[in-house]
Structures are given as structure tokens and as C-alpha cells.
Amino acid sequence: MNLEFDALLKNHTWNLVPSSPSQNLIGCKWVFRVKRHADGSIERFKAQLVAKGFHQQPGIDYGETYSLVIKPTTVRAILSIAISVGWSIRQIDIQNAFLHGHLSKDVFMAQPPGFQHPSYPTHVCKLNKAIYGLKQAPRAWFSRLSSRLLQLGFHGSLSDTSLFIYKSKSFTMFILIYVDDIIITCSNPVEIDELLILLRSDFAVKDLGKLNYYLGVEVIPNAHGTLLSQQRYIVDLLKRTKILEAKPVSSPMASTTSLTAHEGEYFLDVTLFRCTVGALQYLFLTRPDIAFAVNKLSQFMHKPTALHWQSAKRLLRYLKQTLTFGLQIYRTSCNTLQAFSDADWAGSRDDHRSTGSFCIFLGNNLISWSCRKQATVARSSTKAEYKALANAAAELKWLQSLFGELGLALSTLQLFGVTILVLLTSPPTQSSMLELNMWKLTSTFVRDMVAKKTLNVRFICSKDQLADLLTKPISSSRFA
């Protein structure tokens, strides 16, 4: 606590001023947490002073609060590039990051508990800089960091605002920002050291060395390239849910499973179900194999039944069986994007909406995937397919833009589907104007890319359709 308080004073985080009835005074509290290494061992104990931001009032002591973070797809795409060409990949942490953000509105806070000034015990803190807990703190920090990077010659990506790019004749550097956890990769390792020297003039930068543990994901080099694993996260989850000693299974959901909101007794421990499914959602980062099962379970958060909890426990047992699974980033130089698109028509027993999915590979590396229930009911399997196709095509276009900024020349884009050629040549019959316009936009968008020879559209048979794994429960034999 003393170290944290001294850091706040050294940073000139506030000035003490007399209290006034006109001030919207917010409180604060000390929060204690344990920071761990990748292997789970304790790195250090940490105390943070956190403002009670829920007392803030919009327009009075805060305005805009939204702050972006790096997209998981961007991280996977850049790691795929950096690993294939052998670039240096480093990780840094900015200590007390939120304390560097400047505030645009006056914020008044009570003095920290246990650290009231003996001469001015009734004074309050007028904040000069952001502090943890303020609604605008993440946005203020990102604004400060991005401004400094722009001064150093970086430019922000148009495809992902949390990605910064520097290009010169001698080297290229990418910076990926997730709040205060930052990945830097560069064609010349020496330039990373030079950058850190410049950043240390403004921030307390901690060099964590080679990337090995990022946002709960272990980064493990192997003979084929690099494995992204959440094994320790899974073990912790299995311990919390008392499934660690349960019998494992070979698929995340039985192929005969058809969940609905109206069958089974109400599951009493709603908090346990919601916490478990919420924790499973974080595994999306490296485990596309559980995407459909988690998506399905997430549809019953409001009122889970015993059958839903039984399916959740089966998924946990599958994770026990596949503890060592992760996302393999292969050391490959292929610059072809391949997308697989599919839909399960009217798969929901409750509202008959379809589930659309896609998965996209850069060479052999899976970098993007989606499993999502469609927003409206599709009146035919064809309509469900072209809604899924639209999402896949949009993601391909976005990735093409991202790789263009990164300087990677893509040889071609390939889109695979079971009925894809029919979708692009035959308008849907008996359609509403909205559905017809959707088909026109999708088909025109894709056919325009085909005409420019930037996209190859190909038929693929159902048994080879990889996106099918993200739309419905699959038998254990096929899932393997």
C-alpha cells in the first residue's frame, strides 16, 4: 500500500483542495490481488487504489468512456506472420498505466483510507490524472499512449485501432495493445530496445522478454512453430467446478443433444452455471472446437435447467480429455486466405433460428472463426447459407484490408461452401424486400471480388466442410 501511495504522489495524481457541496465526491478503496507467472507461481502481491466510479455522473465528471482493445483475430494474424518470418516477439507491461491518462473533466475523490493528510483531514483529492476505477480511465490511458506512439512515427491501423505500425527502409514494427499488456514484434530486434528507451521517458515500462504468457494464454514454442494454450486456465476451471476427477469424453456435446429452454427441472445454482459458461467463453481465444457447445449453452443463461448443466459438465469433461489441445501456429510462408462457410438451418427448437459459422485460415494457420445464432428466422436452408456467406465474405474483406496495411501481399482469397455457387447465381424465391436486398448485396459483393480475381469461390462436399463443426453437435468419430 505504501509503494502504491508513494507512486500516486510521485505521479502528481491529485491536489488536495477544500471540500464543497457543489462537488460530486466519489469514494475510493484499496484492492488487493496476486499476480502470477505463467506456471501459476506467485510473482508478487499488489495493492491498488481504486476509485468508486459508480458514483460518477455523466456530463459532470466524465464524458466518453469507450476504449478499444486489440482484436483476438489481429493477434493471431500477426503472430502467424511474425512466426513464419522469424521476427522477434516481445512483451511489455506498463506499470500503473491508468495513472498516466489525462482527465478532461474535474473529478473529486475522497482521500485514500488510512492515508489522510494529517494537516488537511477534511480536504478532498482533485484528480489531475486518471486512476483505476474511473469510468473514463481506460479511454484516457489509450489516448495518452496512442498520442505518444504517433509522435514516435507510428500510424494507427484503420482495420484495428489498437494496432500501431511503423515502416521504414530498414525495419518494420507492429505494436498490439490490450490496455497495459503490449506485444511488440519487429524485423530488427535492436529497434525494440530503442523503442523501449524512448517509452521509458514517459512511462514505467517493464520488459517481460520473449512473449510467453499473454492475457491468460501460454505461448509455447515447439518443433512446428508455436502453440497457443490455455491449459492452466482449464485446470483451474475444472478444479472450481469439481470436474477434475471426472471421467473424460471425446466430444464437447453428444450428437443427439438438442437443448431447449422448456425441458428439464430448473437448475437452482444459477450463479454456478453462469460463471462456468462465462469462463468457457474465454476459451474461444484458442479452442474453436468448443465454439458451438459454448454458443448453445450461452443461450440459456437467463433460466438454465438441469439438462443445461449436464451438457456444461460434459463439455468440461471433454476439456479434461483434451487438456493439451491448443491453437497451433505453424511456421509457414503461405499467403493464401481460405474461408469455410456453413449454416445449420432452423437448428434452434425454441425460435427456429439458424446457426451460421465460418473459419478462416492463413495458409495452415486458423486465425478467425465465428459461431453465431442468426438474428432472424431463415425460411429456407439457402437463406440461412447466404447469411452465413455474407459474414464470411465480410471477414475476408476485413482481413484483406488488415494484411494490406501490414504489407502482406495475399496471393488469393478462397471461399468454400456446399451451396455457394447456387447462392451467387440464383436469387431467393418468395423473399421479402429485406431478404432480396441482402442477397443482392452479398452476391454483388462476392461476385465483384471474383471478377477482380481477388477471390476464388469453390464448392466443397459436406464431409470436408470444416465450418460444419461450428454449427451442430458432431459425433465423436467425425469430431476426432
Give the tens place of pLDDT for each residue, 175-197.
Answer: 999 999 999 999 999 999 999 99
Q: What confidence tens digit (pLDDT) does each residue in 392-419 have? A: 888 998 999 999 999 988 877 888 876 6
Q: State the average pLDDT over residues 445-469.
A: 77
Nearest of 231, 230, 252 to residue 314 by alpha carbon: 252
Q: Is the pLDDT of residue 438 over 90?
A: no
CB-neighbour burial class of residue 15 (10 A; exposed 0-12, middle 13-18, buried 19+): exposed
Confidence (pLDDT) at 281:
96
Tell me if 16 is assigned to some domain.
yes
Of the ranges 235-249, 253-267, 302-316, which one carries the lowest mean pLDDT score?
253-267
Same domain (yes/no): 412, 438: yes
Which CATH number do you get for residue 456? Answer: 3.30.420.10
The three grid cell numbers given for residue 11, joined into one nine-digit string = 505521479
Same domain (yes/no): 345, 407: yes
Confidence (pLDDT) at 452:
77
pLDDT band at 2 (very low <50, low <70, confident <90, very high): confident
Domain coverage including residue 102:
2-214
CA distance 421 to 458: 7
Confidence (pLDDT) at 230:
97
Of the ranges 194-203, 255-264, 270-279, 416-425, which one carries the lowest mean pLDDT score?
416-425
CB-neighbour burial class of residue 118 (10 A; exposed 0-12, middle 13-18, buried 19+): exposed
3-state secondary structure of 176: strand
Indicate the average pLDDT of the chain. Answer: 90
Q: Is the pLDDT of residue 440 over 70?
A: no
Of the ranges 81-85, 89-93, 121-125, 460-464, which one carries the lowest mean pLDDT score?
460-464
CB-neighbour burial class of residue 69 (10 A; exposed 0-12, middle 13-18, buried 19+): middle
CA distance 335 to 156: 23
pLDDT band at 424 (very low <50, low <70, confident <90, very high): low
More confident residue, 246 or 457: 246
Query: CA–CA distance from 316 to each of 237, 271, 328, 335, 472 (Å)?
Result: 8, 17, 21, 36, 18
Same domain (yes/no): 300, 444: no
Confidence (pLDDT) at 433:
61
Tell me if 385 is assigned to some domain.
yes
**Max alpha carbon distance in the chain (Å)?**
80
Tell me if 479 is assigned to some domain.
no
For residues 157 and 150, the answer to whether their CB atoms sit within 8 Å is no
Same domain (yes/no): 58, 196: yes
Of the ranges 10-19, 339-348, 444-453, which one carries the lowest mean pLDDT score?
444-453
Q: Is the pLDDT of residue 434 over 90?
A: no
More confident residue, 99 or 437: 99
CA distance 286 to 282: 9
CA distance 257 to 279: 22
Tell me if 223 is assigned to some domain.
no
Of the ranges 38-42, 153-157, 311-315, which one carries the lowest mean pLDDT score?
38-42
The three grid cell numbers given for residue 93, joined into one nine-digit string = 507491461
Confidence (pLDDT) at 458:
79
Share of the chain above pLDDT 70, in %: 93
Q: What confidence tens digit (pLDDT) does each residue in 197-222 have? A: 999 999 999 999 999 999 999 999 99
Confidence (pLDDT) at 422:
61
Nearest of 374, 380, 360 to residue 426 by alpha carbon: 380
For residues 212 and 275, the answer to whether their CB atoms sit within 8 Å is no
Same domain (yes/no): 49, 183: yes
Confidence (pLDDT) at 139:
95
Same domain (yes/no): 28, 146: yes
Rg (CA), the chain: 25
Which one of 287, 321, 355 terminates a domain? 321
Which one of 321, 347, 378 terminates a domain? 321
Nearest of 250, 308, 246, 254 to residue 280 by alpha carbon: 308
Nearest of 162, 155, 159, 156 to residue 139 by alpha carbon: 162
- CA 106 to chain CA centroid, nearest Å: 32
The three grid cell numbers given for residue 22, joined into one nine-digit string = 457543489
Q: Is the pLDDT of residue 429 over 60?
A: no
Tell me if 60 is assigned to some domain.
yes
Which one of 270, 291, 321 terminates a domain? 321
Same domain (yes/no): 17, 65: yes
pLDDT band at 456 (very low <50, low <70, confident <90, very high): confident
Tell me if 270 is assigned to some domain.
yes
The three grid cell numbers given for residue 193, joined into one nine-digit string = 530496445
Q: State the average pLDDT over residues 248-267.
A: 91
Tell me if 113 is assigned to some domain.
yes
pLDDT band at 10 (very low <50, low <70, confident <90, very high): confident
Tell me if 380 is assigned to some domain.
yes
User: How many residues comprise the chain?
Assistant: 480
Confidence (pLDDT) at 442:
65
Same domain (yes/no): 338, 296: no
Nearest of 206, 215, 204 to residue 38 by alpha carbon: 215
Torsion sign across C-alpha atoms 416, 418, 422, 424: negative
3-state secondary structure of 123: coil
Same domain (yes/no): 49, 130: yes
Q: What confidence tens digit (pLDDT) does each residue in 370-381 have? A: 999 998 888 888
- CA 199 to chain CA centroid, nearest Å: 26
Same domain (yes/no): 194, 266: no
* Planar angle of CA 278, 279, 282, nearest 5 degrees: 95
Of the ranges 55-59, 125-129, 215-219, 260-264, which one carries the lowest mean pLDDT score?
260-264
> In the Cβ-directed half-sphere of 120, how many Cα atoms lie within 13 Å?
11
Query: CA–CA distance from 472 to each of 347, 355, 393 (Å)?
Result: 8, 8, 21
Of the ranges 33-37, 151-155, 289-293, 448-452, which one carries the lowest mean pLDDT score?
448-452
Helical H segments across 29-165, by residue range: 72-85, 137-151
> What is the pTM (predicted TM-score) of this model?
0.90
Same domain (yes/no): 469, 390: yes
Same domain (yes/no): 80, 178: yes
CA distance 193 to 58: 41
Structural domains of the chain, count = 3
Of the ranges 21-30, 115-124, 211-220, 251-260, which one carries the lowest mean pLDDT score?
251-260
Helical H segments across 11-158, by residue range: 72-85, 137-151
Q: Is the pLDDT of residue 252 over 60?
A: yes
Query: CA–CA distance from 176 to each of 77, 133, 184, 289 (Å)?
Result: 11, 23, 7, 26
Q: Is the pLDDT of residue 43 over 70?
A: yes
- DSSP for 230-255 reads -HHHHHHHHHHTT-TTSPP-SSSS-T
CA distance 372 to 135: 30
